[in-house]
Amino acid sequence: MRYEMTMVSVRVNKLYLTRTKDGRVLRSTTMYIRDDNDKLQYLLCINYDITDFITFAKLVGIGLLHPVIEREKQKANELLHLLAIC
pLDDT per position as a tens digit, 7-32: 667 777 778 888 899 999 998 888 88
Measured CA to CA, the distance from residue 69 to residue 66 in angstroms comes to: 5
Q: Confidence class of residue 70 from pLDDT cuts 50, 70 and 90?
A: confident
Residues 43-63: pLDDT tens digits?
888 899 999 988 877 776 655
Q: Looking at residue 30, what is its pLDDT? A: 85
Residue 35 has pLDDT above 70, yes or no: yes
- Rounded to whole angstroms, the Cα distance separating 16 from 12 reads 11
Continuous segment of H or E residues that includes residue 11: strand 9-12
- Write down the pTM of the prediction: 0.51
